[in-house]
Structure 1
Amino acid sequence: MHERSSVGELAQQLRQELKRYSPGGKLPSSRALVERYRVSPVTVSRALAQLAAEGLVVTRPGAGAFRAAPHAHAAPAGDTSWQTVALSADAGGEPVPRTVDASGVTVSLAAPPPGVIEFNGGYLHPSLQPERAMAAALSRAGRRPGAWARPPLEGLPELREWFARYIGGPGGTVTAAEVLIAAGGQSALTTALRALAPPGAPVLVESPTYPGMLAIARASGLRPVPVPVDADGVRPELLADAFRASGARVFVCQPLFQNPTGAVLAPPRRAEVLRIAREAGAFVVEDDFVRRLAHEDAGPLPPPLAADDPDGVVVHVGSLTKATSPSFRVCALAARGPALRRLRAIQVVDSFFVPRPLQEAALELVGSPAWPRHLRNLAAELKSRRDAMTGALRHVLPELALPHIPSGGYHLWLRLPDGAHESDLAAAALRAGVALTPGRPYFSAEPPAAHVRLSFAAVAGTAEITEGVRRLRAACDDVLGPGRENGSTPPPDLATLLP
């Protein structure tokens, strides 16, 4: 029996068998199921994971699988249909409807079903997070004098000073007075767009770009206008055209290891982008989200755009979250002039301030010897994982084009063969036991081709990466046809691809 079809068949057989069990009744062991149904242990594991996702069984490590208790009868649902009218009552007078679509964000936040390999994650796997260092930092922070007192609205002065040095570099081009502390990059980007663009205004975005940015813009009543990106970052001539055609006064970009392409804005283009924005009387919102996720072979990194901008064109967003944990939401928002005052006012109105214990913990973490050690280890591990994924893709899925191998960040951007449908591939991949991110949400207009994004940071290690690529090969066979017919060679033994 083919492995992929046998998972579904075994799950169906177990559904029937469950009817003979009382709630809490224990199912036969995995070994017994392997022998009874003549399937592999992997098939049993996936079938049980599927039933657990359906709420039919509960698995307990070391104890086995049990029939789940029936759901209690829910109270009668109220009638919320009136909200449809209330939420759209004023939409007719808005230049741009303020729709809130979080689907592009939740795909990287939601945990996949048990047994599914997470190629769609946007954060570090727990094994890569500095959990011990963060715990120690939190413990020390709690003992600081005044740790639970109200912090300055702009943030702790010492933390602002640390971020200012990091952003401005040795030249000290950014001062602590120009830095605000925010609760994570998403919050800071939301504040920046609200401060710099009125509802109904156009905002220039890279194409493709981070879906969370598009969600922020649309939820704020803004109109995203795409500007194409290539291997060297945003194309300056098209950026100038977009400013002229749209009248936009804001451009949002990720100059370093762009999401999803991994591109780094080339040195000649850095100056061009700032010049074009300055001539347009516009702001550049710099989302410097993965500067601390450079790979071991990255070489010297270019400074943030904010370090080269004396005129307040750049509003800089730089977060600690990607290099630590999704719950370590501490971020810098740097700007100059009236824009800084408006950013501060909006942030205070929205959230008052970032909790002081978290700011104190951030100070303890970045000031400890464990911090540079963590970044060095992370750089080596990310390179190892990137190489494992690119090597497996090259051998097993050569029909998926990888035009650029990044030297930083946590993801790869793959183009599918002409005529392929990324939504079909994503669905087939999930059935095969691997979650990936379709490319469509990364485009604010029609995409030029079908793409998928694969993350190599949210998985347990290189062995899981090669297994995930093997499962993705099976999904591609379902959607694109067998590998031989797509010009690829038969998959090798994936164990030979491990570093």
Structure 2
Amino acid sequence: MSDSSTSVDLVTTLRALLRGLSPGDRLPSSRELIARHHVSPVTVARAIAQLAAEGAVVTRPGSGTYAATPRTRPGEGPADTAWQTIALTDRAVDTRSITDGLGPAPAGTLLLDGGYLHRSLQPTRALGAALARAARRPDAWDRAPTSGLAALRAVFAGIAGGGVTPEDVLVTAGGQSALSMVFRAVAAPGSPVLVECPTYPGALASARAAGLRPVPVPMDDDGVRPDLLADAFAMTGARLFYCQPTYHNPTGTVLSADRRRQVLDVARAAGAFVVEDDFARHLGHGGPTPRPLVADDRDGTVVHLTSLTKPAAPSLRVGALVARGPVMERLRALRRVDDFFVPRPLQEAALELVSSPAWDRHVRGLATALRDRHAELSAALAREVPGWTVARPVGGGLHLWVRLPVGADAGAAARAARQVGVAVSVGDRYFAAEPAEACLRLGFAATADRAELAEAARRLGQL
């Protein structure tokens, strides 16, 4: 080989040599390769590095280069990734609470387990028009501010009400992203976080992924019990309480007016934050919707999050965090570290949507549609499955919380429902600890129409 030989030539030569070697056999030393093939030390180093990257050889500093075992050679069997088990330690991300253990529903299944609006309920034309207008903006693809577009932050500040200003708002990539940011920003790994019992499974998964320990606090028909919340703060030393005061998922409960004040008082006394998940702000069924907790908070106790995803469409991943004081600075810092900013075209489209007359029409029409669907499913269940009890009438949201007869198994009921072509959510997923009772969550917004809801109830009556 001449002095002009490249590392590519040497790699080809060494591959031929490796075909005659057994795993563990030693290759010639770098000095031998330089002398034998008349190449430079750099050429040898590059060739060995490429073969090592391919898994063809193993280098041992101070010892030499050896032929790798066949399982690590490209195309000769599965790669050995067992080493990752040690490298990843024990920080597993548990998604069992947000995935269906029964797997994807077969075609034709009536979906009562969905958490988003059916396409027929989405403002698809308004979304398309908003996206088109946003794309025509000359600065649509420019970098967005870390906190979000000023005009969009003003919209979210207006939705929150009270003394919230645009400077108190941080635009996020939907509600789930906001949850993850708050849990990582406020509490250290290993810390407890208080949650309502039952609660949103996505919050449980996000808290555990951040290394936090969810601690359940019981609810009744008026929401979380302030007396037990105070006890939980005292017993655990928690500095964070996650709650959904308005149209709670899964029960639909609205925290009563007197308890709203008590919850804030209890949290202030404990020196703790209240994370208010206001996901259902635009999912009321036509009646008055209570003010957010953050609207009456003057001390920075409440970290408020909301989203446009639920009332619009699954892929409109735009939401907001509202916070005051040092916690907002930490949240902004996390935004810079995570992804700098939410993509500007999506923010522009969201702003176009909520600023148009079509948005108000959509929200009013959605309220009527959800109220009718709620009534349809409630009546059908009472008729077809009288042994099941709808926990309470709800004034907003997308779900019914159903209690099964004493002694029933919610998992078995969900499996049986799948057999008759209906997908439901097992209630056990909504509890941070042992479930207090056998329940199912039944959604009424993911089906095509009210007729499908009636048919789903009829099929459930066969169980």
- TM over 0.5, yes or no? yes
User: C-alpha separation between the residues in 2 aligned to 1:383 and 1:292?
Assistant: 13
Q: Percent identity, please.
A: 58
User: C-alpha separation between the residues in 1 aligned to 2:344 and 2:82?
Assistant: 41
User: C-alpha separation between the residues in 1 aligned to 2:332 and 2:306?
Assistant: 16
The reply on whether 1:372 has 2:373 as its aligned counterpart is no
Structure 2 residue corresponding to 1:206, chosen from 196, 200, 212:
196
Q: Is the 8 A contact 2:384 2:460 kept in 1?
A: no
User: C-alpha separation between the residues in 2 aligned to 1:109 and 1:99?
Assistant: 21
**Any idea what the Cα deviations from partners look like across 1:391-410, whole Å, max 9, x if unmatched?**
00111111111121111000
Q: Is the 8 A contact 1:319 1:332 kept in 2?
A: yes
The reply on whether 1:106 has 2:107 as its aligned counterpart is no
- Residue 272 of structure 1 corresponds to 262
The reply on whether 1:117 has 2:118 as its aligned counterpart is no
- Residue 257 of structure 1 corresponds to 247
- Residue 445 of structure 1 corresponds to 433
> In the TM superposition, what are the counterparts of 1:475-486 in structure 2 within 5 Å?
476=463
Structure 2 residue corresponding to 1:230, chosen from 212, 220, 227:
220
What secondary structure sits across from 2:407 in the alignment? coil
Q: Is the 8 A contact 2:410 2:439 kept in 1?
A: yes
TM-aligned CA distance change 1:78 to 1:264, over 3 Å? same
Gaps of 5+ in 1: 1-73, 92-97, 477-499
CA offset at residue 230 of structure 1? 1.3
User: C-alpha separation between the residues in 2 aligned to 1:126 and 1:219?
Assistant: 31
What secondary structure sits across from 1:315 in the alignment? strand
User: C-alpha separation between the residues in 2 aligned to 1:324 and 1:108?
Assistant: 27
User: C-alpha separation between the residues in 2 aligned to 1:99 and 1:198?
Assistant: 17
The reply on whether 1:308 has 2:296 as its aligned counterpart is yes
User: C-alpha separation between the residues in 2 aligned to 1:469 and 1:266?
Assistant: 31
Give the TM-score of the pair, scaled to structure 2. 0.82
CA offset at residue 82 of structure 1? 2.8
User: C-alpha separation between the residues in 2 aligned to 1:229 and 1:250?
Assistant: 17
Give the TM-score of the pair, scaled to structure 1. 0.76
Q: Is the 8 A contact 1:202 1:246 kept in 2?
A: yes
- Residue 293 of structure 1 corresponds to 283
- Residue 391 of structure 2 corresponds to 403
Amino acid corresponding to residue 235 of structure 1 in structure 2: R
CA offset at residue 101 of structure 1? 1.6
User: C-alpha separation between the residues in 1 aligned to 2:196 and 2:115?
Assistant: 19
Structure 1 residue corresponding to 2:137, chosen from 144, 149, 153:
144
User: C-alpha separation between the residues in 2 aligned to 1:229 and 1:357?
Assistant: 41
- Residue 67 of structure 1 corresponds to none
CA offset at residue 109 of structure 1? 13
How many residues align? The count is: 389
User: C-alpha separation between the residues in 2 aligned to 1:424 and 1:161?
Assistant: 48
- Residue 384 of structure 1 corresponds to 372
| Runs of at least 4 residues off by over 6 Å | none
Q: Is the 8 A contact 2:250 2:400 kept in 1?
A: yes
User: C-alpha separation between the residues in 2 aligned to 1:420 and 1:109?
Assistant: 18
TM-aligned CA distance change 1:145 to 1:110, over 3 Å? farther
CA offset at residue 85 of structure 1? 2.6
User: C-alpha separation between the residues in 2 aligned to 1:435 and 1:86?
Assistant: 38
TM-aligned CA distance change 1:333 to 1:109, over 3 Å? farther
Greater radius of gyration (CA): 2
Amino acid corresponding to residue 304 of structure 1 in structure 2: P
- Residue 321 of structure 1 corresponds to 309
User: C-alpha separation between the residues in 1 aligned to 2:389 and 2:169?
Assistant: 41
CA offset at residue 461 of structure 1? 0.7
Amino acid corresponding to residue 239 of structure 1 in structure 2: L
- Residue 78 of structure 1 corresponds to 79
CA offset at residue 294 of structure 1? 0.4
TM-aligned CA distance change 1:108 to 1:350, over 3 Å? farther
**RMSD, aligned CA:** 1.6
CA offset at residue 244 of structure 1? 0.3
Q: Is the 8 A contact 1:107 1:120 kept in 2?
A: no
